[in-house]
Structure 1
Amino acid sequence: MRGVLVVFACFIGCFLCLAAPVAAMERGPVTNLPLPRFVSMKASEGNVRRGPSLTHRIDWVFKRRGMPLEITAEYGHWRRVRDRDGAGGWVHYALLSGARTVLIEQDMTQVYARPDQRAQVTAAFELGVIARLGECNLDWCQVTAGGYRGWALKAQLWGVAPEELRE
């Protein structure tokens, strides 16, 4: 009987460990999409406001089309976003795109033909380059920029969560 209780306790413990992350995932009240999540700037220019309406003051303007941003909240047609440096505010949803991009975080990030550091290097991207995001496994993501395509270490990119997998 004691062995059955130990097995049952282990089963319950494993179930709670697996269920906790799912239960903890927050969903946006407007879109029902996960929060936080990454998007990109659709427009070449976008006002960043102090609050979610046109009456709120413009704090600054994002001026980089394709820049990855993280949505942290939703309110009507507005999304609270933050950039790589943590600066953020409210942006109208029409200025954002679901197309995924990443920011290169390390100067001369090597891009490989396969997700393997022994593979052929196909390019090296400078710090601050915006690349289109493709597939991702636990450690690598496929990126495209300037006509070059390959795999980069996920740790050298901003705009993709460390645990995120993409097909």
Structure 2
Amino acid sequence: MRHFIRLALISIGIAAAAPAAAQDVELPYWASIDAEEAYMRAGAGMQFPIEWVYRREGLPVRVVRLIQGWRYVEEPDGTMGWISSGLLSRRRTAIVIGDELAAMRAAPSADADLRWQVEAGVVGNLGECSDGWCELDVENHKGWIRENSLWGAGEP
């Protein structure tokens, strides 16, 4: 019986520590939508009304707060709300921003060969960033774009 009680107490301790460990994340951090459809809610819970429906997997978001399975996020246009943590990924993505086409180059340099002109709103997987340039993979079209043309790159 003592052995059973000891195991029960250990199990309770582990279960209680797991959510606490999940809360020990340095904020803010970048994440991305990891579902074909995700709901942004007015509060941290299913009982709160849906304010926005995302149908764009991979869209980058900035996580600024967290509460028990929910993340308070900011999207590229500044909209903020709560999304269930299960609908987010730590996979780094970025979205092209600005009023003009962004040049995607073969190397991280303004003198490198131009590969594509990328429109604002295009989302891709973010690679390494250095010296003001970031590598971006848009459906296997890879190249380098100036960091200031991307939302989701750099420090959150």
Q: Which protein, 1 or 2, shows the higher relative CO under an 8 Å CA cutoff with sep ≥ 6?
A: 2
Deviation at 1:29, TM superposition (A): 7.5
Residue in structure 2 matching 1:41, options 25, 33, 36: 33
State the identity %.
32
Does residue 104 of structure 1 match 2:96? Answer: yes
Q: TM-score, normalised by structure 1?
A: 0.76
CA distance, structure 1, for counterparts of residue 23 and residue 125 of structure 2: 24
Contact 1:30 1:75 in 2 (8 A): no
Q: Aligned AA for 1:116? A: S
Instruction: Give every structure 1 segment of 4 or more consecutive aligned residues whose post-TM-superposition deviation is greater than 3 Å.
Output: 28-31
Alignment CA distance shift 1:76-1:40 (3 Å) = same
Q: TM-score, normalised by structure 2?
A: 0.81
Q: Which runs of 5+ in 1 are unaligned?
A: 1-27
2:83 maps to what in 1? 91
Deviation at 1:63, TM superposition (A): 1.7
Q: Which runs of 5+ in 2 are unaligned?
A: 1-19
Q: How many residues align?
A: 136
Q: Say which SS state the counterpart of residue 155 (structure 1) adopts.
A: helix
1:151 maps to what in 2? 144
CA distance, structure 1, for counterparts of residue 28 and residue 134 of structure 2: 19
CA distance, structure 2, for counterparts of residue 154 and residue 90 of structure 1: 27
Deviation at 1:95, TM superposition (A): 0.3
CA distance, structure 2, for counterparts of residue 33 and residue 58 of structure 1: 26
Deviation at 1:31, TM superposition (A): 3.5
Contact 1:133 1:144 in 2 (8 A): yes
Q: Say which SS state the counterpart of residue 34 (structure 1) adopts.
A: coil
